Copies of this chain bind each other. A is one copy, B any other.
Amino acid sequence: MPLDRLPTVMIEPLVRAALLEDFGRAGDLTSDAIVPADLVVRARLTARRPGVIAGLDIAALAFRLLDEKVALSCEHVDGDRIAPGQIIGIVQGPARAILGAERTALNFLCRLSGIASATASIVEAVRGGKARIVCTRKTTPGLRAVEKYAVRAGGGANHRFGLDDAVLIKDNHIAIAGSVRAAIERARARIGHLVKIEVEVDTLRQLEEVLSVGADAILLDNMTLDQLRQAVIMVAGRAVTEASGRITAETAPAIAATGVDLISAGWLTHSAPALDIGLDF
């Protein structure tokens, strides 16, 4: 399943803002002072750790926006698994622009590759089963579109992109509505025909109540493996089942084995360590 590129129009504002954040009001003092304006160089983008790459278009755009004479030619595409020391791409062009955009390009690339790698580690842990790994809305403010893209690059799928593309009924909503049934019915009465409803439950009793009303998906939050197994049996295909809570590459296989459709992990976007990628001249 090939990965779809994000159109430039979606990433350009982020990259421009990031370059300006790093250049401030005086620009790259070090390179301007030391590097001749006409020096052209070639540098290798190399992974220092194994992982899955994401963000090459963004990195390329960072270099190109600083100086259109810089080109990044990639040996890999987003979603590729990279071994340490492996060359990801070659940047060629004026040395000043390469040094000036280096940190911006790498800040995007390392973060997004970190997310892709974290996602891939869990995706691989459950390979062979039907469970898909999904992210949450716990993303970095301003970077949701690209972080969700990185999850896809790692082989994961995306949960909601915002408060407005699906209904997710949580404990507080249920408490306010008075019951699971009331919450679901209020939602159903209001939403558009292309909006799905997911309900979060903590107990099998709550699950039962959801099933009696119906929902498109059910988030089984912090359940034991036993509870998950039983939940899957109770749901019996009438809704998508999603398990969440303490998901790691170690815990995921057992959770996947319970038969849930989705395993969601907030840390993929809020806490995945950056992948160490460097630029070597």
Nearest CB of B to A183, in Å: 5
Q: Decide: A66 near B138, CB < 8 A? Known: A32-B190, A34-B176, A157-B193.
A: no
A23 in complex: contacting residue of B30, B99, B163, CB < 8 Å: B163
Establish whether residues A163 and B30, one from each chain, have CB atoms under 8 Å apart when the complex forms. yes
Chain A 198-210, CB within 8 Å of chain B: the 1/0 string? 1000000000000
Interface residues of A in 179-227 (CB under 8 A from B): 183, 186-187, 189-196, 198, 216-217
Establish whether residues B189 and A33, one from each chain, have CB atoms under 8 Å apart when the complex forms. yes
Establish whether residues B195 and A217, one from each chain, have CB atoms under 8 Å apart when the complex forms. no
Closest to A145 in B: B25
A20 within 8 A of B: yes
Establish whether residues A163 and B271, one from each chain, have CB atoms under 8 Å apart when the complex forms. no
Between A99, A169, A172, A183, the greatest number of chain B beta carbons within 10 A of the residue's beta carbon is seen for A172
Chain A 223-243, CB within 8 Å of chain B: the 1/0 string? 000000000000000001010
Which residues of B lie under 8 Å from residue A24 when comparing CB positions? 24-25, 161-165
Establish whether residues B172 and A137, one from each chain, have CB atoms under 8 Å apart when the complex forms. no
| Copies of the chain in the assembly | 6
Which residues of B lie under 8 Å from residue A35 when comparing CB positions? 173, 176
Closest to A169 in B: B30
Which residues of B lie under 8 Å from residue A7 when comparing CB positions? 19, 23, 27, 66-67, 97, 100
Majority secondary structure, A binding face: mixed
A139 within 8 A of B: yes
Q: In the complex the two chains form, what is the Cα distance from A180 to B94 in whole Å?
A: 21
A31 in complex: contacting residue of B31, B134, B173, CB < 8 Å: B173
A167 within 8 A of B: yes
Chain A 1-44, CB within 8 Å of chain B: the 1/0 string? 11011110110001111111111111111111111110101000
Q: Decide: A26 near B145, CB < 8 A? Known: A34-B169, A99-B172.
A: yes
Nearest CB of B to A1, in Å: 7
Residues of A within 8 A of B (CB): 1-2, 4-7, 9-10, 14-37, 39, 41, 65-67, 95, 97, 99-100, 103-104, 106-108, 110-111, 114, 132, 134, 137-145, 148, 157-173, 175-177, 183, 186-187, 189-196, 198, 216-217, 240, 242, 261-262, 267, 270-274, 281
6 tightest A-B CB contacts, nearest first: A18-B141, A26-B164, A271-B273, A166-B194, A24-B164, A33-B190
